[in-house]
Amino acid sequence: MEYYSGKSINNKIAIGKLFYYKKQEAKVKRERIEDVENEVKRFDEARELAKEQVLDLYEKAKSEVGEAEAAIFEVHMMMLDDEDYGDSVCNMIESQMVCAPYAIASTGENFANMFAEMEDEYMQARSADIKDISERMVSILLGNNDTGAVFDEPVILVADDLAPSETIQLDKDKLLGFVTRHGSMNSHTAILARTMNIPALIQVDIKPEWHGKEAVLDGYSALLTIEPDESALFKAREQVAQDNKKEELLKELKGKETVTKSGQKVKLYANIGNVADTAAALMNDAEGIGLFRSEFLYLESADFPTENEQFLAYKIVAENMAGKPVIIRTLDIGADKQVDYFNLKKEENPALGYRAIRICLNQTDIFRTQLRAILRASAFGNIAIMFPMIISLSEVQRAKEILAEVKSELKEQNISYKDVEVGVMIETPASVMISDELAKEVDFFSIGTNDLTQYTLAADRQNPALDDMIDIHHPAILKMIEITVKNAHDNDIWVGICGELGADLELTKFFLDLGVDELSVSSSSILPVREKIREQE
């Protein structure tokens, strides 16, 4: 019996045989060609076929894991159309008289290295995407028909790494879990694992000789046990049985009130990234949408989404929620969420730079378009507006002035809208310290604990080297939440939490004791949080 540790993606357990998967590597040779025009044509044809394949992957991912998680393949589509990438490949073919596979592989490696060396986290992540699309086109040209890992029985997959395209093609009915040597907690593959609700370990020192051996993948302890003895198997099966029983119990909580035994009620809402996520929110019995991350409309678009495109998205969510609250956070672009067509300048520290409300108050045409869309959609449901990254009273006052101007425009144009609640995100130490003043300007607070944690601890949450430093239970964070809740209630407004801490069951009682009015969590966390609340006295 051997033990290997790693980092866990999901608190779940898998028991079964290990299947070692080694990706078929395409051997690319530098070959001189004579017909340049034909070789460029081969590249163009490979690119078109790659687009078709990626589109198929997008549709498959969309149907299996949702639109938000499928968005990575839209990024791949855009990269395949990237002019700089295409020009570089063609230039290499023409100037060096080399074959298309070699030009693609070389360009892919050059671009991937260039992205990997950038300081911006978002751009670094694009390195893996460049490799993925380059390998796809090379495989097409070389006639490599590798269909990925194929297995006849349920297995725990072991691999050096898994690209999102490989992960989404796996047979979900036979995939018990996976273990990889590489990867990160925030990779697209990790996100897919969470969405598929399967256990996974990353950063494990894997070995080919494990193939076919029995193992236990324990997501709770982040351990992989090779050839477990009867005692280890018994414990693992016991935990699996408990997990299954818990899932069944949680299903019984659908439709039940989110209330403690003593009668303290809490609003339990869902965080969503786009229209498709509404289905998961409803399926898990969300009482509303506490955070609609509207920036995904921009991230998933090749240009600024129009007023009507935004209006339709907000309207559909409002209608689907059938009168339940839908809180839309205005544009939060910047930091780790970069969009090319915004043409934002490179910053030394984008997390502390030009982002969110700062962009909106400076580029008011973008802001006004979004506010018009939200207000128009308010006529079809119960919508509220929330401003992110607030650090001053003047920002809130200016944002409200623009909102009032937009309302006047709509009124003059005889366009219907409702008076919506207006709130702010409390996610900077500055907003906490002036929360008593901010509370006099708005209808509610929503505490964004993710950014509040990184700004309070001066620790970049995108930097994996600081993972051990980011203490989400740090006394300073909890004290700031306490201050914010008190100042909200002293000014007769409600306060919620929409960051990751909202789903932290270790803090549920703490939030109840403070009198937090609302918790907004991922859809999969709604029922576990409800169960925890209903257990409290």
Separation CA 333–CA 358 (nearest Å): 10
Amino acid at 97: M
Pick the closest to residue 386 from 435, 326, 336 (CA basis): 326
Separation CA 422–CA 383 (nearest Å): 10
Taking each helix axis as running N to C, give the angle between helix 100-116 and helix 121-142, from 0 to 180 degrees, rounded to the nearest 10. Answer: 170
Residue 376 CB contacts under 8 Å (≥ 6 apart), including other chains: 307, 311, 314, 315, 410, 415, 416, 417
Which residue has tokens 């080297």?
A: 465
How far does CA 246 lie from the centroid of its chain? 26
Separation CA 310–CA 140 (nearest Å): 38
Q: Which two tokens stand for residue 181?
A: 């040597």
Q: Which two tokens stand for residue 74?
A: 């839209």
Separation CA 341–CA 313 (nearest Å): 21
Rg, the chain, Cα only: 25
Specify whether the CB–CB gap between 497 and 446 falls below 8 A. yes
Q: Helix or strand or coil: residue 384?
A: strand
Look up 90 and say whether it is catalytic.
no
Hey, how many other C-beta atoms are within 10 angstroms of the C-beta on 360? 26
Separation CA 100–CA 139 (nearest Å): 11
Pick the closest to residue 145 from 62, 24, 34, 260 (CA basis): 24
C-alpha distance from residue 332 to each of 48, 354, 359, 363 (Å): 34, 10, 9, 13
C-alpha distance from residue 257 to each of 130, 265, 268, 284, 526 (Å): 48, 8, 9, 13, 12
CB crowding 302-335: b at 16 or more within 10 Å, else e: eebbebeebbbbbbbbbebbeebbbbbbbbbbbb
Which residue has tokens 């999969």?
A: 524
Catalytic residue among 76, 90, 99, 188: 188
Give the phi and the psi of residue 352 in degrees, each rounded to 5. -105, 20
How far does CA 272 lie from the centroid of its chain? 10
Look up 182 and say whether it is catalytic.
no
How far does CA 256 lie from the centroid of its chain? 28
Give the phi and the psi of residue 105 in degrees, each rounded to 5. -60, -45
Separation CA 461–CA 467 (nearest Å): 7
Residues catalogued as catalytic: 188, 498
